[in-house]
Amino acid sequence: MTPPIEQNASPYGTLPPASPLATRKPVSLPRLQELHARGEKITMLTAYDATFAAVADAAGVDCILVGDSLGMVCQGLSSTVGVTLETMRYHVESVARGLRRAQATTWLIGDLPYGTYQESREQALRSAVVLMQAGAHMIKLEGGGWTADIVRFFVERGIPVCAHLGLTPQTVHALGGYRVQGKTAESAAILTRHAHELQDAGATLMVLEMVPAALAAQLTGQLQHCATIGIGAGNGTAGQVLVLHDMLGLNLGKMPKFVRNFMAELPGVPGQHGIKEAMQAYVKAVKEGSFPDNALHAW
Ligand code: KIV
């Protein structure tokens, strides 16, 4: 008789975590829902290559987002509009390999780039499959309204979804720039309706980018089944995300208001520190609620 598969065994020939150093259970969809339910903040950072991903995993970051922000930080583009699906596939695959090299405990989210999900649900599914087969555990897509149909289509087919509302950089030209969204009563009402529709469609996570802190906190309280992940949305969200290069201070321009440079001096860490320590400090600050500080990093 075939012995039953042990609960944490790796069926179908998959490799167990590569490193014997794993200090925590892998982050899974139920684990994210559990963190949300018990009010523990969810930590997310972007990463685009194997090494940074492995370090983020070892630092205890809950989720890595291979964001299309890589267009700016890796490719030198002036917006995310020019990022292709093939570029995203390459970076998701690199990050997935890096995670297998480390603890393989971090949840991996792949971002659908501009033009790869707008035509139809079928086009969106084909694009999502490319990133899932590259190693993503979840797919992120921008926008509200018409996207709820795509989110439902994905979730019914076993693809976990992270939605993205507020400032959606792929539509920066329509929005008239990188501006705070949901400031008027009318735009806040639309954003709120979209957030509920995306939750009802089955999105598990929802990035809220550059949204007033009060609105983000209100939405976070309303959405019982979808954890909000803020970036420039104050400290009342269920989790936080930052672009890796920003939080490491690797930005020659003016740093966005919502960023904290974790490579700068860290409280309790004397002298110089490395990137892993900066990531650990970010995780600690988010978990304990000291980052972001609404007085400094929010609207
Ligand atoms: O592309 C990206 O990195 C993102 C984050 C800023 C949320 O969408």
User: Ligand 1 centre and the CA of 110: distance in Å?
Assistant: 10
pLDDT value of position 13: 46
Domain of residue 215, residue span? 29-297
- Residue pair 28/73 in contact by the 8 Å Cβ criterion: no
**pLDDT tens sequence across 182-226:** 999 999 999 999 999 999 999 999 999 999 999 999 999 999 999
Q: Whose CA is nearest to atom 5 of ligand 1?
A: 67
* Residue 243 within a domain: yes
User: Per-residue pLDDT averaged across 88-103, rounded?
Assistant: 92
pLDDT value of position 8: 57
Is 40 tagged catalytic? no
* Residue 16 within a domain: no
Return mean pLDDT, the chain.
Answer: 93
- Amino acid identity at 207: V
pLDDT value of position 15: 47
What proportion of the chain, given as a percentage, has pLDDT over 70? 93
User: Per-residue pLDDT averaged across 1-11, rounded?
Assistant: 53
* Residue 40 within a domain: yes
Q: Is 48 left (phi over 0), alpha (psi -120 to 50) or beta?
A: alpha
Q: Specify the number of domains making up the chain.
A: 1
* Residue 150 within a domain: yes
* Residue 22 within a domain: no
- pLDDT at 29 > cutoff 70: yes
Picking from 8-12, 79-83, 122-126, 198-202, which range would have the lowest pLDDT averaged per residue? 8-12
**pLDDT tens sequence across 231-254:** 999 999 999 999 999 999 998 888
State how far Cα 266 lies from the chain centre: 24
* Residue 17 within a domain: no
* Cα–Cα dist 93/49, whole Å: 9
* Cα–Cα dist 85/16, whole Å: 29
> Burial code of 262-271, b = ≥16 C-beta within 10 A, e = fewer?
bbeebeeeee
- pLDDT at 2 > cutoff 90: no
In short, whether 142's Cβ falls inside 6 Å of ligand 1 is no
Q: Where are the beta strands (DSSP E) in the chain?
A: 42-46, 63-66, 107-111, 138-142, 161-166, 205-209, 227-231, 239-242
* Residue 66 within a domain: yes
pLDDT value of position 269: 76
User: Ligand 1 centre and the CA of 270: distance in Å?
Assistant: 31
Instruction: Kindly give, in sequence order, each residue whose CB lies less than 8 Å from that of residue 144, ignoring residues fewer than 6 positions away.
Output: 163, 165, 190, 191, 193, 194, 195, 197, 198
pLDDT value of position 268: 77
* Residue 10 within a domain: no
pLDDT value of position 59: 93
pLDDT value of position 18: 58
Q: Whose CA is nearest to atom 8 of ligand 1?
A: 67
- pLDDT at 115 > cutoff 60: yes
pLDDT value of position 10: 47
The DSSP result for 135-186, as a single string, is: T-SEEEEE-SSTHHHHHHHHHHTT--EEEEEES-GGGHHHHTSS-----SHH
- pLDDT at 108 > cutoff 50: yes
Can you tell me whether residue 94 is helix, strand or coil? helix
CATH number for the domain including 48? 3.20.20.60
Pair of tokens at residue 23:
């200090």
- Amino acid identity at 167: L
pLDDT value of position 104: 84
pLDDT value of position 21: 60
